[in-house]
Amino acid sequence: MLSFRWNRVTGDGKLWLRVRRNWQLYVLLILPLLWLAIFRYAPMYGAQIAFRQYSPAFGIEGSPWVGLANFERFVNSPKFEPVIVNTLVISFYALLAGFPIPILLALSLNQVKSRFFRNSVQMITFAPHFISTVVIVGMLFQFLHPRVGFTAALAGMLDQPSPNWMGDPGAFRHIFVWSGIWQEMGFSSIIYFAVLSTIDPSLHEAAVVDGANRLQRIRYIDIPGLLPTAMVLLVLSTGRVLEVAFEKVYLMQSPLNLGVAEVINTYVYKVGLLSPILDFSYSTAIGLLKGIVGLLLMIAVNHAARRLTNHSVW
């Protein structure tokens, strides 16, 4: 404390003195900053190949400048519409269905009187979060297998023809979204549950004295208490609507469902690293477009959230 004040009275050189006094802290930061520059900011510099016709022979700066040609090519390509539509439909479906469920789960768990029951539900719903994406999709393939799967066994018991859901393009989105909810609802509810436990108990006590029932207490105490956290998380996930989880979509794709399952991220990967003629510039342009739109979207939603509810991320 003493030294802070001392810094303040030294006037002119105070900033430099503070830097010099803390030089060892900057030494600690050297490696992290070096890593940040190489693995996070160098790619941002390299993203300029979106505006060039990149060829390995000329390097990043040496490749010819083509302006927005790569972006125009994507916007005018027949792939543009389906890829954008698929991305948005999957994202908003996942958001609309997946956002309220953890909140409801937390509200509902918060009402449970038995500690044992509450902990059991939490422990079990939390568990699938730790299962890897590959295993989850592997499980889906096994369960929904038209011949040996769980659904086939069930259909057999009911004397129904067994469905082939994994091969059905119409089922793809539902399977993707609801398996995601199955896996993550417990984990996502943790934050809300933690926030509920910070709500002042005297509010509930006063409400009980006034004759409020449980539903009314949820409506007028718990939900308003969750609103700030919910808003922050909503803004963050809206900023990520174009980032449909690559790992899972890519695993669930098959020639049968590609019409509904091709999203921006998988398309970027295929154009850039998988196709016979690799097109780094084109792929980067699509990725960059996604990144910029995502950033703008997040800023817009944050602004709207602040206007409407007075809660926002920044």
Partner 1 sequence: MATMKSYESNINKVNESAIDRVFMFFNNSILLVIMLIVLLPLIYIVSASFSSSEAVIEGRVILWPVDFSLQGYQTVFEHKKVWDGFANSLFYTFFGTIFNVVMTIIAAYPLSRLDLVGRRFITFAFIFTMLFSGGLIPTYMVVRDLGLLNTRWAMILPTGIGPFNLLITITFFRTTIPSELIEAARIDGASDFRIFASVVLPLARPIIAVLALFYAVNTHWNTYFMALIYLKDQELFPLQLVLREILIQNSIDASMLTDVEDLVAREGLRDLLKYSLIVVASVPVMALYPFVQKHFVKGMTIGAVK
Taking CB under 8 A as the rule, does residue 133 contact partner 1? yes
Phi-psi region of 65 (alpha: psi -120 to 50; beta: other; left: phi over 0): beta
Dist CA 306 CA 314 (whole Å): 9
By the rule CB under 8 A, 309 interacts with partner 1:
no
182 contacts partner 1 (rule: CB under 8 A): yes
Give the phi and the psi of residue 65 in degrees, each rounded to 5.
Answer: -75, 130
Q: Determine, following the binding rule CB under 8 A, whether residue 19 of this chain makes contact with partner 1.
A: yes
13 binds partner 1 (CB under 8 A): no
Site residues for partner 1, 221-250, by CB under 8 A, read: 229, 239, 246-247
Residue from 214, 220, 224, 308 in contact with partner 1 (CB under 8 A): 214
User: In the chain, which ranges are continuous DSSP H helix?
Assistant: 2-9, 14-21, 23-36, 42-46, 59-62, 69-76, 80-98, 100-111, 115-126, 133-143, 150-157, 169-196, 201-209, 214-217, 223-239, 246-252, 258-261, 264-269, 280-309
Q: Does 177 bind partner 1 (CB under 8 A)?
A: no
Q: Does 284 bind partner 1 (CB under 8 A)?
A: yes
- Considering only residues 64 to 103 of the shown chain, the ones binding partner 1 according to CB under 8 A are none
Check residue 300 for interaction with partner 1 (CB under 8 A).
Answer: no
Using rule CB under 8 A, residue 193 touches partner 1: yes
Three-state secondary structure call for residue 65: strand
Which of 13, 62, 100, 138 contacts partner 1 by CB under 8 A?
A: 138
Instruction: Give the binding range for partner 1 (CB under 8 A) out of 64-72, 78-86, 89-97, 279-287.
Output: 279-287
